[in-house]
Amino acid sequence: MAFTPLFGHQMLYGADYNPEQWLDMPEVLDADVKMMQQARCNIMSVGIFSWAKLEPEEGVFDFSWLDATLDRLNAHGIKVFLATPSGARPAWLAQKYPEVLRVNEQGQRALFGGRHNHCMTSPVYREKVKIINQKLAERYGKHPAVIGWHLSNEYGGSCHCPLCQEKFRQYLKDKYQTLENLNARWWNTFWSHTITDWSQIHSPSLLGEKAVHALNLDWQRFTSDNALDFCKWERDCVKAITPDLPVTANFMEFFLDYDYFQWAKELDFISWDSYPQWHVFKDPDYIASYTAMNHDLMRSLKGGQPWVLMESTPSCTNWRELSTLKRPGMNTLASLQAVAHGADSVQFFQWRKSRGSSEKFHGAIIDHVGHLDTRVGREACDLGLKLSKLGEICGSEVKAEVALVFDTQNRWAIDDAQGPRNKGMNYLEHCLDYYRAFYKCGIAVDVIDETCDLSKYKVVVAPLTYMLREGYAERVKNFVAQGGTYVSTCWSGIVDDTDLCFLGGFPGPLREVMGIWEEEIDSLEDGIEVYAKMEPKGAELCFNSVEPSDIFKGHELCGLVHPDADTEVLVSYDVDQPQSYSPIFYAGMPVLTRHAYGQGKAYYVASRMDRAFYDNLVQLLIADHELHNGCGQKAYRLAEGLSVTARLSDNYRYVFIGNYASYEQSLGLNFAYEDMLNEDEQGNKQAVSGAITLKPFEMRVLRRPINS
C-alpha cells in the first residue's frame, strides 16, 4: 500500500531562500519570484537564519519584510517551509544573556559568532525561542503559502555548561536510580572510579574522564535526548498554535551526534541535506551507493514514508578542500536519485548566492550574474520541467525485501571502545560493503537500527553489531526461527547497552542462533590481506565466473571462531603465505559459516572481505530467496555505474535507471514501459522496451502497470 502524499501529487521543487539579505534591492526580489516560476519552483524554505531581522532588539519585532516575502511568493504560486530562526541568534541576545552561549568540553564559553552553537538547556534561550516561534506561528500559521515548519537548522553538537552538567546528572539519576547501580553498570571499581556523590559526575572531557566507555555512551545518549528535547520544545511552541502544520528538522549525512531513529518519532516528516562528493572517486558506484544508502536510511527512519530532500547543491559546495563542479547532467541525476529512493521533493541550498560573508561562493541556482541563463540555471529549469512530470509518483513506496542494520548507538560504542582497531573500526564502510553488493543488483534495502521490526524482511544483514541493545537479540532469534536469513559478522554480540561484555562467549545472546563461538579477533595492518578458500560447501558461492578453486580475501579484522557441530563451514582461512612476518596461524578456521535455526538460517562472516566475496554472497541470497530488482525480476549484478531502483504506487511500478559513469551504457529491459520524462509526437508517454541507452550521468524514469 502506498502512502498518502504529504503535499499532494506534485513534486516539491525549490531551495533555501534568504530575501532578507537583499531588502535594499527590491528589483532583486521581484526578479527572484519571476525566475522561480521560470524554473518551475513551487517551494522555498524561508527564515532559516532571520532572527536578527525579525527581532532587531529584544522585544521589538519587524515582520514587514517576511509579510511581503510570503505574499509575493504566494502570488506566484510558491509554497513555503517556514523556519524557526533558532539556528543562529542575534548579537544582542548573546551579549545580554551569556548563558545562551555553548561551553566546550574544556569549560570555555563560546563568544558570539558562527551559528548552531547555543546551549539547548538554557531556560533563557528556550524562552526567547518560544517568543519568536509563537509570534511566527500566530502571524503565519494560516498564511496560504505556508505548508510546514522547518525547525531550526541542522541541529547538532553538545554543551558542557553548568546547566547541562546538572541536567546530565538528573538524567543519570532517572536512569540508574542509585549510585550503586550506576557504579556497577559503568564498572567503576576499575581505576578507583567509584562515584560516591552524584555531584562528582562530569561530562566526558580530555581534562578529566574519557576512559569510562559507559559514561561516554550515556553522555552521547543524553546530548541526543537533550537536543531532541529542545527540538520538541520548538515543535510544541508552534504546534500549540498551528496543530495541523507538519514539522520537520533537516538531518545530515550519516550524522554521528544524535540518534535519528529516536528523533524521527517526534517529527511529522523526515528531511535531509545531501552533499555527496560526486566526480572525486574513480569508481562510479562508490559515491552513488554511499548516497543511496543515506537516502535509504532517511526513508527507513519513518517506516518507509516518503521524505523531503531539503538541501543539495545545484553546482558545488564551498566548504570542502576542493569545490568540484557537478558535471552536466549530474545535478539532475543526483536529484532524481533522491526521488528514486523515496523523496517527494528536490530542494537546494540555495536559491541565490549571497553577496558577502562565508557562503558567497557556495553553489546556487542564481549566481552573482543574476539570471537563469547559465549552465546551472538552464539545468535547473530542465530539472523543474522533469519533476513537473513526476507528480503521480508522490506517496509511492520503496518496497524492500532486505534490511541493513546500521545502528547509531552501536556506532558510538564501537568507535569509542579501546580494542581491536583504535585507528577506526570503519563501521559505516563495513556496512556500505554489504549495502553496495545489494545495490549493485538493483535490490532495495531498508537501513534500520536495532530497535526496528525485522519481521517484514526476507534477509537482514547486521555487520559489526558490537553492542546488542535491549531486546534486539530476542528479535533476531524470532526473525530467524520464523524463516528469515540473518547475516552477522565478527565483533558482534560483544557488549550490552552499558558496554559491559557478555560473559560465557561471544556473540553473547546470539551464540545459539549463530551457531559459532568467537574466541579472539585479530587486527591487520592496512594493506595486509588474508586469503580465504572455499570448502566443498562453498561451491554454492560460485557465481560471476568465480571457481571453487578461487580464493577470496579478507582484511582489517579477522575473527577466530569455532563452529558448533551443526554449523556448516563454507569458506575458511587459507594456509599461511610463505615468509609472512605476521603468520596467519588460524588457517583452517571458518570465514563463512551457516547455521540452520528454526525455519531460517544465520550466516556469520569472520572478516571484512573483498568485493567479490560480498557480490557472491548476495548471489547466494538471491538464489535462496528469489530477491527481486527494481524492474521486478530476479535480481542480477549490473554493470559498473548502473543502478536500478523502483517505487510502487497502487497502480504502477516506477523504475529509475541511472548511469553514474562518465560514458554511455545500455541495459536490456524484460518488460514494456512508458517513459515518464519523454513524450512521442502525439504527446503521449513514449513507449520503451528492449535495450535502452543511457547517456553519461543520465537517469531514465519509466513506468509499467503494477500487474503487467
Q: Which residues are catalytic?
A: 154, 311
Could you give the CA distance from residue 187 to residue 498 in angstroms, rounded to a whole number?
Answer: 9
Alpha-carbon torsion, ordered 601, 606, 612, 617, to 10 deg: 0
Interface characters, 353-382, with ligand GLA (x: CB under 6 A): ------x--x--------------------
Which listed option, Zn ion, ligand GLA, none, makes contact with residue 161 (CB within 5 to 8 Å by class)?
Zn ion
Which listed option, Zn ion, ligand GLA, none, makes contact with residue 121 (CB within 5 to 8 Å by class)?
Zn ion
Which listed option, Zn ion, ligand GLA, none, makes contact with residue 396 (CB within 5 to 8 Å by class)?
none
Return the number of the residue (84 or 317) whose C-beta is nearest ligand GLA: 317
Which listed option, Zn ion, ligand GLA, none, makes contact with residue 164 (CB within 5 to 8 Å by class)?
Zn ion
Q: Which of 140, 155, 251, 349 binds ligand GLA (CB under 6 A)?
A: 349
Is 273 a binding residue for ligand GLA by CB under 6 A? The answer is: yes
Return the number of the residue (84 or 619) whose C-beta is nearest ligand GLA: 84
Query: Which residue, 605, 609, 536, 531, is CA-closest to 573?
Result: 531
- Inter-CA distances, 640 with 201, 293, 644, 700, Å: 53, 17, 12, 17
In the bound complex, what is the minimum distance in angstroms from residue 114's beta carbon to ligand GLA?
11
Q: Which of 216, 220, 289, 317 binds ligand GLA (CB under 6 A)?
A: 317
Is 698 a binding residue for ligand GLA by CB under 6 A? The answer is: no
In the bound complex, what is the minimum distance in angstroms from residue 350's beta carbon to ligand GLA?
7
In the bound complex, what is the minimum distance in angstroms from residue 234's beta carbon to Zn ion?
16
Could you give the CA distance from residue 192 to residue 188 in angstroms, rounded to a whole number?
Answer: 7
| DSSP 8-class letter at 645 | E
Return the number of the residue (164 or 513) whose C-beta is nearest Zn ion: 164
Q: Which of 311, 522, 568, 574 binds ligand GLA (CB under 6 A)?
A: 311
Return the number of the residue (154 or 259) whose C-beta is nearest ligand GLA: 154
Burial of 20 (0-12, 13-18, 19+ CB in 10 A): middle
Return the number of the residue (153 or 315) whose C-beta is nearest ligand GLA: 153
Residues with Cβ within 8 Å of 314's Cβ and at least 6 positions away in sequence, in order, are 326, 331, 348, 363, 364, 365, 376, 379, 380
In the bound complex, what is the minimum distance in angstroms from residue 380's beta carbon to ligand GLA?
16
Which listed option, ligand GLA, Zn ion, none, makes contact with residue 362 (CB within 5 to 8 Å by class)?
ligand GLA
- Sites for ligand GLA among residues 510-529 (CB under 6 A): none
Q: Which residue is nearest to ligand GLA (CB)?
A: 273
Query: Which residue, 606, 608, 303, 600, is CA-closest to 437?
Result: 608
Is 116 a binding residue for ligand GLA by CB under 6 A? The answer is: no
In the bound complex, what is the minimum distance in angstroms from residue 84's beta carbon to ligand GLA?
14
- Inter-CA distances, 73 with 24, 45, 76, 183, 439, Å: 18, 11, 5, 58, 40
Residue type, 490: C
- Dihedral of alpha carbons 517, 522, 523, 528, sign: negative
Please tell me the count of residues contacting ligand GLA according to CB under 6 A.
Answer: 9
Which listed option, ligand GLA, Zn ion, none, makes contact with residue 273 (CB within 5 to 8 Å by class)?
ligand GLA
Which listed option, ligand GLA, Zn ion, none, makes contact with residue 317 (CB within 5 to 8 Å by class)?
ligand GLA
Beta bridge partners of 700: 657
- Dihedral of alpha carbons 92, 98, 103, 109, sign: positive
Could you give the CA distance from residue 39 to residue 583 in angstroms, rounded to a whole number?
Answer: 63
Rg over alpha carbons for the chain, rounded to the nearest Å, is 27
Residue 249 C-alpha cell reads as 528538522
Return the number of the residue (159 or 343) whose C-beta is nearest Zn ion: 159
- Cβ pair 424, 467 in contact under 8 A: no
Q: Which of 42, 50, 84, 154 binds ligand GLA (CB under 6 A)?
A: 154
In the bound complex, what is the minimum distance in angstroms from residue 87's beta carbon to ligand GLA?
8
Residues with Cβ within 8 Å of 202's Cβ and at least 6 positions away in sequence, in order, are 165, 208, 209
Return the number of the residue (203 or 313) whose C-beta is nearest Zn ion: 203
Which listed option, Zn ion, ligand GLA, none, makes contact with residue 275 (CB within 5 to 8 Å by class)?
ligand GLA
Is 351 a binding residue for ligand GLA by CB under 6 A? The answer is: no
Could you give the CA distance from residue 168 to residue 201 in angstroms, rounded to a whole number?
Answer: 9
Residue type, 495: V
In the bound complex, what is the minimum distance in angstroms from residue 164's beta carbon to Zn ion?
3
In the bound complex, what is the minimum distance in angstroms from residue 259's beta carbon to ligand GLA?
20
Is 275 a binding residue for ligand GLA by CB under 6 A? The answer is: yes
Which listed option, Zn ion, ligand GLA, none, makes contact with residue 427 (CB within 5 to 8 Å by class)?
none
- Sites for ligand GLA among residues 4-63 (CB under 6 A): none
Query: Which residue, 492, 489, 342, is CA-closest to 413?
Result: 492
Could you give the CA distance from residue 331 to residue 127 in angstroms, rounded to a whole number?
Answer: 41
User: By the criterion CB under 5 A, which residues form the site for Zn ion?
Assistant: 119, 121, 159, 161, 163-164
In the bound complex, what is the minimum distance in angstroms from residue 104's beta carbon to Zn ion?
10
Residue 663 C-alpha cell reads as 560514458
E strand spans, 617-661: 642-648, 652-659
Query: Which residue, 196, 112, 219, 203, is CA-closest to 161?
Result: 203
Interface characters, 231-270, with ligand GLA (x: CB under 6 A): ----------------------------------------
In the bound complex, what is the minimum distance in angstroms from residue 106's beta carbon to Zn ion?
14
Structural element, H or E, at residue 46: strand 43-46
- Cβ pair 479, 513 in contact under 8 A: no
Which listed option, ligand GLA, Zn ion, none, makes contact with residue 159 (CB within 5 to 8 Å by class)?
Zn ion
Give the DSSP letter string of 109-150.
BPPS-SSS-B-SS-HHHHHHHHHHHHHHHHHHTT-TTEEEEE
Phi, psi torsion values for 266, nearest 5 degrees: -95, 0
Between β-strands 445-448 and 665-679, what pairing exists: parallel, antiparallel or unpaired? Answer: unpaired
Return the number of the residue (273 or 446) whose C-beta is nearest ligand GLA: 273
Burial of 244 (0-12, 13-18, 19+ CB in 10 A): exposed
- Sites for ligand GLA among residues 631-690 (CB under 6 A): none
Which listed option, ligand GLA, Zn ion, none, makes contact with residue 119 (CB within 5 to 8 Å by class)?
Zn ion
Return the number of the residue (360 or 634) whose C-beta is nearest ligand GLA: 360
Q: Which of 10, 50, 117, 153 binds ligand GLA (CB under 6 A)?
A: 153
The packing angle between helices 123-140 and 64-75, to 10°, is 40
Return the number of the residue (158 or 300) whose C-beta is nearest Zn ion: 158
In the bound complex, what is the minimum distance in angstroms from residue 120's beta carbon to ligand GLA?
17
Residue 350 C-alpha cell reads as 540555495
Query: Which residue, 338, 262, 273, is CA-closest to 301?
Result: 262
Binding footprint of ligand GLA on the chain (CB under 6 A): 153-154, 273, 275, 311, 317, 349, 359, 362
